[in-house]
Copies of this chain bind each other. A is one copy, B any other.
Amino acid sequence: MIDNLTTTTLADKVEERIIGYIKENNLVPGDHLPNEMQFVEMFGISRNVVREALSRLRMLGLIQTRTKRGIVVTEPPLLNGFRKILDPSLFSVKSIKEMMGMRIALEIGLAEFLFTNVNNNDIQELEKIVKRQKAIGSDNLSFEEEVAFHSKIYEIAGNNFISQLTQIMHPVFVFVKKNYSNYFLPVSKKLKERGEVVSHEMILKLIRNRDKKGYHKAVRLHLKHYWEFIYNYNESDII
């Protein structure tokens, strides 16, 4: 009985037309848009609909609106929309697998920039983090500690976009590890038995030695849980 026919409302069309307006007129951040009533007249619709459409663009960060000042185009934060939808429990296994794949690809590809940029000062800071975490014990790391190391890596690589993207997706991975623990735990155990566990300390060593190839390999191992999940997990395994 559930069909996917998703009705397109006036707000949908107006949203499109306003985005179109920005493009056609080559508006750039700082430029003014017509105000609400002008759009009402341009499109021959109620102010309500215009406001719905503007509200969407406002949410994405494409415009800013202020009383009397009117509507101004702004440079949108790249991942505003992505961040909002990232509720882990909403996603199918397929989507989650794709996010994992993305994470792996990024982490490996990032090495290009990491090894180009890294300097001794960076390495000292990484050493500080690793030393602190070693004292805590690698199994007892808090969320913040777990993130700290990788965040620093992203920082060195100098790509905020990638860093944000990974951070935003992080809760999804936490969720999956928890909710698919009957899959992850055995994999994790097996990896440990085989000694195929990559610590932050080991990764740091590879960076220190500027060993990009070793780094690639290490990252693959570090994220092997996900790799296994992508290729071997079937939904039927659970039920």
Q: Which residues of A contact B (CB under 8 A)?
A: 2, 6-7, 11-12, 15, 19, 22-23, 26-30, 48, 51-53, 55-56, 59-62, 64, 66, 73, 75-76, 78-82, 84-85, 87, 89-92, 95, 98-99, 101-102, 104-110, 112-113, 116, 157-162, 165, 220, 231
Contacts and interface: CB of A to CB of B under 8 A. Distances in A.
Given A66-B7, A95-B161, A102-B159, A29 B90 contact: yes
Nearest to A4: B64
B81 A80 contact: yes
Given A85-B81, A98-B161, A101-B159, A90 B106 contact: no
Main SS of the interface on chain A? Answer: helix
B26 A89 contact: yes
Nearest to A15: B59
B162 A98 contact: yes
Contacts of A95: 75, 78, 161
A87 B84 CA distance: 20
Contacts of A109: 104-110
A112 B108 contact: yes
Contacts of A105: 105-106, 108-110, 112-113, 159, 162
Contact of A162 (B11, B59, B102): B102
Given A55-B55, A82-B82, A162-B102, A22 B87 contact: yes
A109 B104 CA distance: 7
A44 to B, nearest CB: 19
B81 A161 contact: no
A84 B19 contact: yes
